Amino acid sequence: MDLTHEIESFNVREAMYILDRSYRDFPLKTVFLAVVDQGVGTERRAIALDTREGYSFVGPDNGIFTLVAEELECEALVELSNPAYYYTNPPSRTFHGRDIFAPAAAYLSKGVPFGELGRKVSRPITIPIKPAILEENTLHGEIAYFDRFGNIETNIPGEFLTRISSLRGGLITVTIVNTDFPAHLHEAYGEVPPGELIVHTDSSGYLEIAVNQGNARQVTGAKAGEAVILKA
Amino acid sequence: MDLTHEIESFNVREAMYILDRSYRDFPLKTVFLAVVDQGVGTERRAIALDTREGYSFVGPDNGIFTLVAEELECEALVELSNPAYYYTNPPSRTFHGRDIFAPAAAYLSKGVPFGELGRKVSRPITIPIKPAILEENTLHGEIAYFDRFGNIETNIPGEFLTRISSLRGGLITVTIVNTDFPAHLHEAYGEVPPGELIVHTDSSGYLEIAVNQGNARQVTGAKAGEAVILKA
Amino acid sequence: MDLTHEIESFNVREAMYILDRSYRDFPLKTVFLAVVDQGVGTERRAIALDTREGYSFVGPDNGIFTLVAEELECEALVELSNPAYYYTNPPSRTFHGRDIFAPAAAYLSKGVPFGELGRKVSRPITIPIKPAILEENTLHGEIAYFDRFGNIETNIPGEFLTRISSLRGGLITVTIVNTDFPAHLHEAYGEVPPGELIVHTDSSGYLEIAVNQGNARQVTGAKAGEAVILKA
């Protein structure tokens, strides 16, 4: 099944977050094929990651698996170096999704062992993330990605919010880079007037900045990876 | 299967019409999951509707089922109040599609009785519609929705057209709110020059206002729910 | 399965190329349903094409099958004139995808013989294509279509490139209509700086004009069907 084809072009960070927040809803033994790949055809490696928990991941070694590799226990990590499992040999220089990654995911789903697909390697590339930090009355984190409504998803766990303020319906200041926005603390979009900003814990358990019936991405001009600060 | 993910955000009316014009093409016993839900997390009810004809519907009680509830005979209407059938308990405040509606539709498709999912309720919320009216040489109705070509779909039955004029190829005046547009009466897009307006009975049996190889929505500036008048 | 719903509206040429570059990746006996159909409801024929190689094609007779009909050997070509295989009789004037083409494709996939669907006809409509020509140090062809990254796909076979220059990393002049653009000859996007034009053989074996991490369609203003010249 297709999880999404709506990742922004070249946005590895967005893919990393969406994969991380989605994989737990799939059954164990699911093989995830994740490709955002501006380095296709260059020296970046093609990899497959097996985890003790039972999920597997196939894609380019460009940081797209940073979060899942951090959370899950690595059982095997191989470079997809065995051309016997390519769609074409040599593979094209521009479409490894077709020529290397999709065949590898398909073979894994059929029970081919990871070790067959190529040589073992030690660790995947990771991309730097601004960690979520709780200070006195202030939360720091980064903008993870946007959903199709323009809601802003952060990497700040929802439980942090209760630590700085328990005042439901209160106000909070959202700072994105150098701009401040006032926002309501509420749990449902419909609890604030249309057009106003709301900060709440979204359905994945992280803080989301949204505009009721509007587009928070446009309203704030936020970009993925930017720093975000919430202050009570 | 996915019927559409292209309903305009927050446009319950569009979803109501598209659901109504689509359900008959599906086999009996189909369970329809329909979610346009700006009231998610507020007091609006989550419901499931069973009909004597054999179709079932699951979604928010916000008017999205106005037309199907009018046309089909209600066999059961329940509020999805039984958390035993939720994906998480408590459900999130922002994603009832995942936490309440999709599981309910899945359980119904597996044969779980409607009464298991929650308490019986009496009638769904309806949204007001400008009825299709035939006067002497004039048809009144409303703009139902737009397809992806920008064709304007109305709620005026195609057979009304033959009652005001049988002159195929003739001209008609389309009034949307306060603006008049001349249009051709024809049956196929290709029968008028590119760029000109055509009024005809579309494939669902309702009047459609279109521009041959163009975008009637943009040309007229029409909005869903606005009044439309056709005058011979 | 859905191959694509992202063909530009009314762009028969784009559909023709994408169908041609996709069908070989499907198993034999695949039935392809291809509909870009601005002539729906007019006198254009509805056809089904069977080929000796084992692929079948169903759609409007408007040139959409120009390339596959040229490459494959025709085993049968029928006009879909038998209303016994329509979804509704008479079919609507605006949605032959639903009323004629999809049912025909479904019946063919179930083993209904081509001859049952209608009368035999002699040859499909073709649309004119600027052929790919190799002159001394110059390649001529046309712009076939764009992918969703804005990469420009041409109808010039990749092997032509090696005939005008073997200098990998060299420069080439791309002329689209009357405008010249300098471009790098490279095989992978990542081999040129972001924002620069690259000409290379794409994953279908044809020359592609791309911008590393950018949109070549926007940068050049190219349109499908326009002449393209590459000069070493």
pLDDT digits (tens, 9 = 90+) for C5-57: 888 888 999 999 999 999 999 999 999 999 999 888 778 999 999 999 999 99
What does pTM read for this prediction? 0.85
- Among B158, B67, B56, B66, smallest CA distance to B117 is for B56
Given a cut of 70, whether residue A165 has pLDDT beyond it is no
* Pair A93, A41: CB distance under 8 Å: yes
**For a pLDDT cut of 90, what percent of chain B falls above it?**
73
pLDDT tens column, A47-60: 999 999 999 999 99
Beta strands B133-135 and B138-146 are antiparallel
Residues C17, C153: contact at Cβ < 8 Å? Answer: yes
- Band of pLDDT at residue B164, cut at 50, 70 and 90: confident
Sheet strand arrangement including C74-79: C31-33, C56-60, C46-51, C74-79
Q: Mean pLDDT throughout B67-71?
A: 96
Q: How far apart are CA C225 and CA C11, in angstroms?
A: 10
Structure tokens at B52: 């004597």
* Tally of residues, chain C: 232
Query: What digits encode the pLDDT tens for the residues B22-46?
Result: 999 999 999 999 999 988 877 899 9
For residue range C88-137, what is the model confidence (pLDDT) as tens digits?
899 988 899 999 999 999 999 999 999 999 999 999 999 999 999 999 88
Sign, Cα dihedral of C180, C185, C189, C190: negative
Question: Chains touching chain C at 3 or more Cβ pairs under 8 angstroms?
Answer: A, B
Q: Mutate one of A35, A45, A94 to test the C interface: name it (highest C CB count within 10 A).
A: A94
* Rounded CA separation C181/C195 (Å): 13
- B–C interface: beta-carbon pairs under 8 A: 35
CB neighbours of A48 closer than 8 A, spacing ≥ 6? A56, A57, A58, A76, A77, A78, A80, A104, A105, A108, A114, A117, A118
pLDDT confidence of residue A187: 78
pLDDT in the model for residue B166: 54
Q: Which helix (H) or strand (E) holds A103?
A: helix A102-109
Say whether A218 sits in a helix, a strand or coil. Answer: helix
Q: Which stretches of chain C sit within 8 Å of chain B by CB?
A: 9-10, 38-42, 92-95, 98-99
Task: Find the closest chain A residue to C215 by CA distance.
Answer: A9
Mutate to test the interface with C, among B3, B203, B212 (most CBs of C within 10 A): B203
Inter-chain CB proximity B93 and A190 less than 8 Å: no
In chain A, where does DSSP find H-type helix?
A: 12-22, 66-71, 96, 102-109, 114-117, 158-164, 216-220
Strands C206-211 and C56-60, sheet pairing: unpaired
- pLDDT of res. B70: 95
Contact A190 B94 (CB under 8 A): no
Of C25, C148, C188, the CB nearest to A94: C188
Average pLDDT rounded to a whole number, residues C180-206: 88
Give me the percent of chain A exceeding a pLDDT of 70. Answer: 98
What's the pLDDT band for C213 if we cut at 50, 70, 90?
A: confident
Tokens read off for C194? 């972001």
Chains that touch B (3 or more CB pairs under 8 A): A, C
Searching chain A, which residue's CA lies closest to the CA of residue B8?
Answer: A149
Residue-level pLDDT at B191: 83
- Sequence-distant (6+) residues with CB within 8 A of A118 are A48, A78, A79, A80, A81, A82
How far apart CA C227 and CA C129 sit, in angstroms, is 10
Chain-chain contact of C95 with B189 (C-beta, under 8 angstroms): no
Residues of chain C contacting B188 with CB distance shorter than 8 Å: 40-42, 93-94
Distances in whole angstroms, Cα of residue C118 to Cα of each of B113, C29, C50, C92: 46, 20, 13, 18
Q: What is the pLDDT of residues B116-153, one digit of tens each?
A: 999 999 999 999 999 999 988 899 999 999 988 899 99
B139 touches B118 (CB < 8 A): no
Q: What is the pLDDT of residue A222?
A: 94
Kindly identify which residue of chain A lies nearest to residue B92, measuring between CA atoms. Answer: A203
Which 8-state DSSP code applies to residue C152? Answer: E
Q: What pLDDT, on a 0 to 100 scale, did the predictor assign at position C163?
A: 79
pLDDT, tens only, A84-143: 999 989 998 889 999 999 999 999 999 999 999 999 999 999 999 999 999 988 999 999
Binary contact (A203, B9; C-beta < 8 A): no
In degrees rounded to 5, what are phi and psi of residue B3?
Answer: -75, -50
Residue B188 clears pLDDT 80, i.e. is over it: no
- Which contiguous run of DSSP H or E holds residue A117? helix A114-117
Look at A42-46, A91-95, A165-169, B221-225 and tell me which has the smallest mean pLDDT: A165-169
Share of chain A above pLDDT 90, in %: 72
- Contact: A203, B94; criterion CB under 8 Å: yes
Residue whose token pair is 């009047």: B207
Chain B's closest residue to C36, CA to CA, is B213
Tell me the shortest Cα–Cα distance from B190 to chain C, in angstroms. 6
Quick: pLDDT tens for C135-184.
988 999 999 999 888 999 999 999 998 777 655 568 889 999 889 999 99
CB contact under 8 A, A41 and C208: no
Give the pLDDT score at C42.
Answer: 79
Interface probe for C, chosen from A93, A95, A98, A99 (most Cβ of C below 10 Å), is A93
C38: nearest CB among B25, B189, B208:
B189
Element containing residue C32 per DSSP (H, E): strand C31-33
Could you report the per-residue pLDDT of C53-92, keeping only the tens digit for each? 999 999 999 999 999 999 999 999 999 999 999 998 999 8
A40 contacts C202? CB cut-off 8 A: no
- CA distance, residue B3 to nearest chain A CA (Å): 15
What are the residues whose beta carbons fall under 8 Å from the beta carbon of C24, sequence distance 6 or more? Answer: none
The rounded mean pLDDT for chain A is 92
Residue C188 near residue A41, CB atoms below 8 Å: yes
Q: Indicate if ipTM > 0.90.
A: no
Q: Would you state the pLDDT for residue C168?
A: 59
Q: Report the alpha-carbon distance of residue B74 to residue B87 in Å, rounded.
A: 27
Listed residue (B193, C70, B92) closest to A208, CA to CA: B92
| pLDDT category of residue A148 using cuts at 50, 70 and 90 | confident
Residues A41, C203: C-beta atoms closer than 8 Å: no
